[in-house]
Amino acid sequence: MTKLHLQVTGFQELHSEFISKQSNIGTYSINGLNIIALSNVYHPEPQSSTLFFLKAILKKYQHLNNKKGRLLELGCGTGLIGLCCSEYVEELYLSDIDENAVFCTQINAFLNYMQPNIYHSNLFESLPDILFDVIIFNLPLLDKKIETLAEVATNDLDGQIFINFIKQVPKYLTPKGEVFFSYSNLGNLELLKIIPECFIVEKIANDEDKKTGIARYVFHLKMK
Q: Tens digits of per-residue pLDDT, 165-186?
A: 999 999 999 999 999 999 999 9
β-strand partners of 62: none
pLDDT band at 14, cuts 50/70/90?
Answer: confident
Rounded CA-CA distance 220/222 in Å is 7
For the chain, what is the mean pLDDT? 93
Are the beta carbons of 41 and 94 closer than 8 angstroms? Answer: no
Show the domains of the chain with their CATH numbers.
Answer: 4-223 (3.40.50.150)
Among 88, 75, 80, 94, smallest CA distance to 32 is for: 80
pLDDT band at 1, cuts 50/70/90?
Answer: very low
Rounded to an integer, the average pLDDT of 89-113 is: 98
Residue 10 has pLDDT above 80, yes or no: no
pLDDT of 78 reads 98
pLDDT in tens, 124-164: 999 999 999 999 999 999 888 988 888 888 899 999 999 99
Q: Which residues, in sequence order, are CB contacts of 117 under 8 Å at separation 6+?
A: 91, 92, 93, 94, 128
Tell me the HSE value of 121 on the side-chain side, using a 13 A CA sphere. Answer: 19
